[in-house]
Amino acid sequence: MIIFDCDGVLADSEVISAQILVGALAEYGVALDERYVFRHYVGQSFPKVSAKIRTTFDIALPSDFESQYRARLLAAFEARLQPMQGIALVLEQLGHPRCVATSSSPPRVAKTLKLCNLARFFGGDVFTASEVANGKPAPDLFLHAARHMRVAPSQCLVIEDSMAGILAAKAAGMAVWRYTGGGHMAGFSEAELETPPDVPAFDNWDQFFQMAPQVKRKEP
């Protein structure tokens, strides 16, 4: 089974997310840039991110900060969100079971998949961090997805962009590959990305079936 992360893997959404977060925090005197967001927060649930921000910057964000951020983000998605180039063709040709396991909230991932016209490839097989006690980098979400899909962890391949997701997949006993073709990866060197040496990486979905020809659907 192939387990896909959503943001930064299926949808080129992380740049938009970072821009909205940087702008929202600036209103409360917290000065971050997008690179900081990518290095410290990508791949984690927003409640975890907001808790880190409150602690790191010793700031009392309002109780509705998360809901304001989500509203702004979904509006930006409506205007700007795009799927990763080539991902739809991969999903059309994939011959193995697949699902989504994401740190995004249920409304966000539903909106993302709909706007990118990718919901048709997954049906109800979409799992979020809201369904488990511990989000990435804990293995809970990936193990939860495997249980529901009735597939052993050893038979799963996770496609992730973030280090939090890579660590979660490894902790779950699953194979993991890193997709580095998202807009948020631009400008980072291989050394800065810090991809573990035992994790294959690719930056173009055209490479996927070259790396895993066995998962491509067999033509009749």
In the predicted structure, residue 81 carries a pLDDT above the cut 70: yes
What tens digit of pLDDT does each residue of 114-155 get?
Answer: 999 999 999 999 999 999 999 999 999 999 999 999 999 999
Whole-angstrom Cα Rg for the chain: 17
In the predicted structure, residue 209 carries a pLDDT above the cut 90: yes
What is the spatial distance between Cα 190 and Cα 149, in angstroms, rounded to a whole number? 34
Can 2-12+82-215 and 14-80 be said to share one CATH topology? no
pTM: 0.91
Domain boundaries, the chain: 2-12+82-215, 14-80
pLDDT for the residue 192 = 86
CATH topology of domain 2-12+82-215: Rossmann fold (3.40.50)
What is the spatial distance between Cα 67 and Cα 24, in angstroms, rounded to a whole number? 11
What tens digit of pLDDT does each residue of 180-195 get?
Answer: 999 898 888 888 888 9
CATH number for the domain whose boundaries are 14-80: 1.10.150.240
Please state the rounded mean pLDDT for residues 26-46. 87
- Over the chain, what is the mean pLDDT? 94
